[in-house]
Structures are given as C-alpha cells and as structure tokens.
Chains A and B, each alone.
Chain A
Amino acid sequence: MKRAPFIAALFALGLALAAPLTLTGAGATFPYPLYAKYFAVYQKLTGVRVNYQSIGSGGGVRQLFAQTVHFGASDAPLSDAKVAEFKKRFKTEVVHVPTALGAVAVVYNLPGVQEPLKFTGELLAEVFLGKVRTWNDPKIAELNPGVRLPPLPVTVVHRSDGSGTTFVFTEYLAKVSPAWRERVGFGKSVSWPTGLGGKGNEGVAGMVRQTPGAIGYVELVYALQNKIPFAALKNRAGRFVLPSLASVKAAAALSDFPPDARVSLTDTPAPEGYPIASFTWILVYQDMAKNRAFKSRAQAEALAKLLWWIVHDGQAYNEPLHYARLPQVAVRVTEKNLRALTFGGEPLLR
C-alpha cells in the first residue's frame, strides 16, 4: 500500500502531460469567423486548443492589459500612448501580428441606379457631414456622368455601436477632409453630425436596404456576402477603385512597411489599392513570461508557433472567407517580430 501515493502522483503527471494545451484569446469581432476557422484547423493539426472570445477590440485590449488572456485581438492598432503605457507597465513590448485585411465598403440604396457610383473622399466626407443633402447634387452628378440620379434626399446611416469599422472609416475621412478632422475626428465611436445609427453591420445594411436614398458603410465581407451595391472610391493615385480582395491586398503592399506593423492603410499611396482598408491584428507580449496568463514555457511556445502558422499556412483560409491575404512585405516584417518573441529572454522560435 505504500506505493499508492507514488502511483497516484505518476497518474496525475500523466494526465497533465496528456492534457491538451489550451490558449485563450479575446478581442475583435470582425475577424471572428476567420479565427474560428484557423483555430479549428490548427487544433486538428497539432492538438492545441484555442478559446477565442469575440468580445470586441476594446475588451480584447483591456483583457491583454489585465493579463487574463494569452493574446488580444484588435481591429485598430494600439495608439502611441497605449504602446508607451504597455512598455512602462510590463517592461516589454507589445507585438502587433497582422493576420488579415478587411475593408469598408460604402453602400447605398438608389432605386433605378445600376452602375456603381463613384465618390471622392472629400465628397464622401461632405455627405457624412450632412452638407450634400440630395442625390442629384451637382457634386455627385459631376463624378458620375451619365448616371440618372434621382432627386431623393440623402439619408446617412452609420454604426451606432463602437467598432473597428467606424474607426477605419472615420480615419479615412479625417485624412482626406480637413472639415471632417476638425468637426468629428476619428475613433471607434464618434459624434456623428447627422444620420441614423444601426447596430452592427447587419443593422446598417438593414437600414440602408429599407430606406431609399440611404448611404452607409459596412465591412466589405458583409457587403459581398449580402450582395449590397457599393461605390468605387478615388484613391490617392487618382484611380477609382472598387473594393475587392485584390484591391484591398494591393492597398497593403507598401514599400515602407513599418517594423512594428502598426500601419494605417487608409488613403493608401498604392496605385491599385482601395483607400479604406485595414489590417486586423493579434496582440501579444514580446516577453511572454511578463504575461501572468502563461503558466509555462510550453504555452508560450505553442502561441508563437500558432502565430507563425497563421501568417504562413493559415493565410490559405483567408480568401474563401472573404478576408484579404497578407501581402509578402507584411509577412516578412511579422516573421522578424515573431522570431523576437521570448519567454523570460529565451527565444521561442528557432
């Protein structure tokens, strides 16, 4: 009978070793369908389980700071102030790992208009500021010769909930329109000068569909899946570009990609790029030992390997789900950042 405790201990050890590694993440809702796919495939490949809670980017960042999750996910990069605060509090860097690209489509409901409308950023800002009030306004007509624009009033529809989509859209307007920058600014929730607010992509799309003369913005994924007509936008190079997986990926092919991958793609200089595109990121601690959520080096290693897989093999799952793939330049920068991940100073990937 003396051997019983020993056997019990051995048994417990065996259980612990056999138990699958589990990683926890929280954050953005926009990439959730994609992440669910990644994690399901990855579990089949490696046995590593990932729990992802799509509680919103804000919540993801909050949980990352609170060290209750192994990784956070956000549609907007952390601000300079947040990055500095992170470094000061945790004595390590926050690493932004881009996983996919999304874009914001400008959708509208104009009975009788078949061809995609063209907009410039300035005009879009004026519409959303409430300065262009009818669809047959000369400013719209000038950009769309040959289109029979009805004399309907313009009904602006925007997101009422805080969202990365709003962040990207308003950041674009703030870049191209000084009046917008002055009056509204940009953020996940802004003080809209006019219009109706719908909750979520489905809320905005629903209101646009229901209201003749409405104009709004939704995630490109959502517009594509639901076949809502969207507008072509004039990019910085002067071309009118429709949002598509190709034009979104082109927007991110920047020659001067920043080493920390915190890059805004709105109003991109890329000649073929759609101007309202954005990365979505996974956020991790560079030295994972500084994150109390990690109980062992094995967990940190599993996360580093998972991230490596996502930016390489995992990318194959992006386009079937209507998310654009990372361009090569982003993958190269991210490879370098992933190699710099450590656990207590020891590199995690070789």
Chain B
Amino acid sequence: MPGWLYRRLGDRLFSALVVGLALGVVLAALAIVWVLYQGGREALHTFGFLGFLTGSRWDAVRGEFGAWPPLLGTLLTSAAALFLAFFPALSAALFVVEFAPRALKGAVAYLIDLLAALPSVVYGLWGIFVLVPLVRERVELPLFTWAAAHAPGLLAFLGPPTGIGMLSAILVLALMIVPYASALARDALALVPQSQREAMYALGATRWEVIRRVVIPYARAGIFSGVVLALARALGETMAVTMLIGNSVNLPYTLFGPAATMASLIANEFTEAEDDLHLSALIAVGFVLLLIALATNLVAAWVLRRMSLGEGRK
C-alpha cells in the first residue's frame, strides 16, 4: 500500500476490522440464541414454557418431555460442586500469594492451572476407574450400612451405594472447577497493594487478621468473578458428568443414586433423536440451559457492580 493511502486509510481499515470482528462475535451469540429458540419452539409450544420447565416426565417413547429432572440435576450438581470447590480454591490462591516460598509459588500455581487443561473425558475416565470404586467402598457402603442400622430414615435420601451417581459426579465436577475459581482469585489477591498489608501489620494485626480484613475484602470482586466462571463451567460440563452421574431422569434424586443434567441429557440423546418432538425438546433443553447461564451472568454482573460501589464508599 502506498504511503499516502496508508496514512489516509490505515486507521479506518483497522477500526473497521476490529469493529467487524467484534460485531461478528455478538452476531454469532445472537444467532445461537435464535437457532436454539427456533429449534425448541415445537416442544415449548406443545408443553408451554412453564409446563416444559416443570414437567417431571421425560419419556421419548410416549412423546412426553419435561425438563424439570435434568434442570434440577444441573442446579444441584453445580451448586454442590461450587460449594465444595470454593474453599479449596480460595485456600490454594491464598497459599500461592501469601504463604508459599518464592520457589514453590510458580510450581503450585502451574499445577493448579494444569487441572484446567485436562480434557474432561480424562476426568471421566479417572472418575470411573479411581474415584467410583473409592467412593463406593470408602464412603457410600459404610454410610449406607451405618444408616441401615441406625437411621433407616436416611436410606431414602442416600440411595443405592453403587458409586455411580450424583455424589461421584459432584466430586469430579468440584475438582474440575477448582482451577477456574482459583486462578482468578490468585490474580485478584496478587493485585492487593503491598502498602495495604504493611499498614495493617504496622497496626499489630496478625496474619489471619490481615487476610480476613484487608486482602480478601480488597480482592473480593476478583474472587467472585472466579466463582462465576467456575459456576458457568459447572453448568455446562458434559462429558465427565455423563460418564459418572448414571443418567436417570427418574425423580426423586438421591445423593448416591443416578441423576441427569441438562448437558448430559443432550449429549446422550441428541444423535439418535429421530422423532421431531424429541429433537425439539432436546434443543429446548439447550435453550433453557442458555437462559440459566444468561441469568447467572446477569446476577453476577449486578453483584459485581454492588461490590465495586462498596469499594468506592470505603
């Protein structure tokens, strides 16, 4: 390109390119929403949106589709996994930033990040061959026999102790989302200015007080962002969960027994769904999953804004 043309057009071309690509992403997102809605319309129309959400039977033979069992499965497993993952993730981040000697910092952070890079089918295989027998022999069977002897009322809540089921899925899911929560928390903690800590120490605070009163409050927005990212990951995780959760849409769910999530249900039934209504119901489940992800993000954005407002007031 000749110099004068470059001077006159270069910047415009560049901004056009940037805007175009950015808009492309937005358009792709909208197109996904549109296609999912279009594809799921038949099912949403047949059962009604609320009827589809609350229907508790999923029976392809009779053409009855209700998304409540997989919806409940997704919410339960994600919430439980997030609960289990939060404190280890935060602890790992604190360890790396506050406690670890310089030589260890990099190695520990690297290993935690590596957890995020493992393909989820590897988690699934590890779950089947290592975690499931362990959970069955060391957790489920002892608990089950104890409950059978001392608290028969609990049995209905525990379910069959086969190792395959909700508990194993939650444990693997928790492990999978730790690095997401941890990485963002780590970055946020590292950004806390050293002067803040020093000021606190100067006042005679203990390490625990410094972390609790200064470091974590200062970094809370970043920590929360990590939680949201981890939750989004848990909501959509498919392969490992499908391999471990036992895939049953029969309510009520039990702690040890099989369950299903929205993503696992789609992965299971999509390829062989010949019937139009069945296919449409599966796409509608995808649409619902998208709405849930959207709702999670909106709530997260709102909470984050309130958090930063709070920072301003301080």
Contact = CB atoms under 8 A, between A and B. Distances in A.
The reply to whether chain A is a binding partner of chain B is yes
Interface of A: 55-59, 61-62, 153, 155, 160-164, 184-199, 203, 206-207, 210-211, 214
A77 to B, nearest CB: 12
Q: Which residue, B164, B165, B242, B270, has most C-beta atoms of chain A within 10 A?
A: B164
Given A160-B268, A203-B243, A188 B60 contact: yes
B60 A191 contact: yes
A198 B269 CA distance: 12
Contacts of B164: 196, 207, 210-211
Contacts of A188: 60, 272-274
A283 to B, nearest CB: 12
B59 interface: yes
Contacts of B128: 206-207, 210
Contacts of B57: 191
A166 B61 CA distance: 12
A184 B136 CA distance: 29
Contact of A197 (B60, B248, B271): B248
A187 B268 contact: no
Interface residues of B, number: 34
B132 interface: yes
Contacts of B271: 55-56, 58-59, 161-162
B162 interface: yes
A194 to B, nearest CB: 8
A199 B272 contact: no
Given A57-B274, A58-B273, A210 B132 contact: yes
A25 B129 CA distance: 36
Given A188-B274, A189-B278, A197-B258, A162 B165 contact: no
A210 B273 contact: no
Nearest to A207: B164
A155 to B, nearest CB: 5
A203 B164 CA distance: 11
A185 B260 CA distance: 21
Contacts of A185: 61-62
Contact of A211 (B163, B242, B268, B272): B163
Contact of A196 (B133, B162, B270): B162
The 6 closest A-B pairs by CB, nearest first: A162-B272, A197-B247, A160-B247, A56-B271, A191-B59, A185-B61
Contacts of A155: 160, 162
Contacts of A199: 242-243, 247, 267-268
Contacts of B272: 56-59, 161-164, 188-189
B116 to A, nearest CB: 23
Secondary structure type dominating chain A contacts: loop
B248 A196 contact: yes
B246 interface: yes
Nearest to A161: B268
28 contacts: A55-B271, A58-B272, A58-B274, A161-B271, A162-B60, A162-B273, A163-B272, A184-B61, A186-B61, A187-B60, A189-B60, A189-B273, A191-B58, A191-B59, A192-B250, A193-B250, A194-B250, A195-B258, A196-B162, A196-B258, A197-B268, A198-B243, A198-B247, A206-B128, A207-B164, A210-B132, A211-B164, A214-B162
Given A188-B274, A199-B268, 9 more contacts: A153-B160, A160-B268, A161-B269, A185-B61, A189-B60, A189-B269, A196-B246, A207-B164, A210-B163
A162 B268 contact: yes
Interface in B56-115: 57-62
Contacts of A160: 242, 246-247, 264, 268
Contacts of B174: none
A160 B241 CA distance: 12
A189 B58 CA distance: 10
A164 to B, nearest CB: 8
Contacts of B177: none
Interface in B136-161: 136, 160
A61 B247 contact: no
B178 interface: no
B90 to A, nearest CB: 34
Given A56-B271, A58-B274, A206-B128, A190 B248 contact: no
Contacts of A206: 128
A197 B162 contact: no
Nearest to B165: A196
A203 B243 CA distance: 7
A155 B140 CA distance: 15
Nearest to A190: B61
A210 B249 contact: no
A184 B62 CA distance: 9
Nearest to B257: A196
A199 B243 CA distance: 7
A203 B271 CA distance: 16
A164 B250 CA distance: 22
Contacts of A192: 248, 250
Given A58-B273, A61-B274, A160-B242, A190 B160 contact: no
Contacts of A210: 128, 132-133, 163-164
A62 B242 contact: no
Interface string B44-65: 0000000000000111111000
B231 to A, nearest CB: 24
A175 to B, nearest CB: 15
Q: Which residue, B59, B162, B163, B249, has most C-beta atoms of chain A within 10 A?
A: B162
Contacts of A153: 160
B242 to A, nearest CB: 5
